[in-house]
Amino acid sequence: MLEFLENNSWLLVIQDEWEDLAPTWYKLAPLETWDTLLVSIGKNARSHHSECVKVFNAGAKTALNWDLHAAYIYDDFLTANRDSKFLTDNHRVSIDLSKLSEPEFQNAFPLASGIGEEQLFVLWRYVLHAGLSYNHPGSGMVSERDIIINSHMSTYLQLADMLPMIVSYTIQIALWNLYHKEERRSEVFGFFRRVVDFLIQNPAHDRVLNVADASFISEQAHVILKYAYARMDKPSVDLVQGIFNAEDIPEHLRYEINVSWSELSFGTRDISRYYNQSFEEFWAPSADSEAESNPDSATRSMRQAE
């Protein structure tokens, strides 16, 4: 699947080609896919349905055509799946990955459990980066072949929107898996290095796309740093710092991609009470970090220097 994606990613914008690939994708990333689709239906189509109910309850004779059309589609979806477990047992649950056995993890996340540095980069480059750069509307995530979600729902489940979201989940889960296997932890940093190098060497023409790419990978780095703090893993902190705060990162990427000490320090306050070592002791702030986290003290220092 990933080898095909690397060589034929442009086919993802062709509806018939995606429909041929979809059954394989659903098997590789079932939980990530269904969670994304059902939540999107709830946020989008259901909101129009609720608006119609609100308007009619207020005494109106009709509603906006757009709301009515979406409400009919949502009604059809509910009717067609009234006995489906996806609706009758449709409550989201949190999954503690650390509590899953290796066979359970592999069964729940076939793709995320089986990929490493190379495959992560393929997913990022040809779905997230390419998707952000070449957003082709029109292709739907579902079709007439889908037995659960009718094809009319495709209006609210565009492939260009849904697939990047699903792949983001898959990458996050895969990074968790690789980091927590010490013998494979280096693949996390290899993936980060490849993405950062790619962004440095291949800047997008659109600044918004540069920011989106940089923000995504920086967010993943911050998550890994939280894992590192939980394990008192200072070597991983040094590796991430070296990748994301490198001097050769161009100015247009630096703000979004740099690892922020103050941001991570704030983000770990809720878990720091469980450890004997404070975050500041674990990762001592640099002078720049102290100034960043306390601009007033930085201003006072500058005045004293004057």
For the cut 50, the answer to whether the pLDDT of residue 201 exceeds it is: yes
Q: In 151-181, which positions are buried (b, 16+ CB within 10 angstroms) versus exposed (e)?
A: ebbbebbbbbbbbbbbbbbbbebbbbbbbee
pLDDT value of residue 23: 84
> DSSP class of residue 284?
P
- pLDDT higher for 15 or 99? 99
Classify residue 11 as exposed, middle or buried by CB count within 10 Å of its CB (0-12, 13-18, 19+).
middle
For the stretch 194-200, contacts whose Cβ atoms lie closer than 8 Å and that sit 24 or more positions apart, written own/partner, are 194/117, 194/121, 195/121, 195/124, 196/243, 196/244, 196/246, 196/249, 196/257, 198/121, 198/125, 198/129, 199/253, 199/257, 200/248, 200/249, 200/250, 200/253
Residue with tokens 């996050």: 172
Name the percent of the chain lying above pLDDT 70.
69
- Confidence tier at 4 by pLDDT (50, 70, 90): low
pLDDT value of residue 197: 93
- Confidence tier at 295 by pLDDT (50, 70, 90): very low
pLDDT value of residue 121: 95
Radius of gyration of the chain (CA): 23
For the cut 70, the answer to whether the pLDDT of residue 146 exceeds it is: no
β-bridge partners, 158 = 140
Element (H, E) at 210: helix 207-230
- Confidence tier at 259 by pLDDT (50, 70, 90): confident
For the cut 80, the answer to whether the pLDDT of residue 257 exceeds it is: yes
For the cut 90, the answer to whether the pLDDT of residue 129 exceeds it is: no
For the cut 80, the answer to whether the pLDDT of residue 131 exceeds it is: no
pLDDT value of residue 127: 86
For the cut 50, the answer to whether the pLDDT of residue 213 exceeds it is: yes
For the cut 70, the answer to whether the pLDDT of residue 138 exceeds it is: no
Looking at every residue in the chain, the average pLDDT score rounds to: 77
pLDDT value of residue 281: 61
For the chain, what's the residue count?
306
For the cut 60, the answer to whether the pLDDT of residue 238 exceeds it is: yes
pLDDT value of residue 177: 97
pLDDT value of residue 83: 78
- Helix, strand and coil content of the chain, in percent to the nearest 5, comes to 75, 0, 25
Establish how many alpha carbons lie within 13 A of residue 134's alpha carbon, considering only the half-sphere containing its beta carbon. Answer: 9
- pLDDT higher for 155 or 150? 155
For the cut 60, the answer to whether the pLDDT of residue 158 exceeds it is: yes
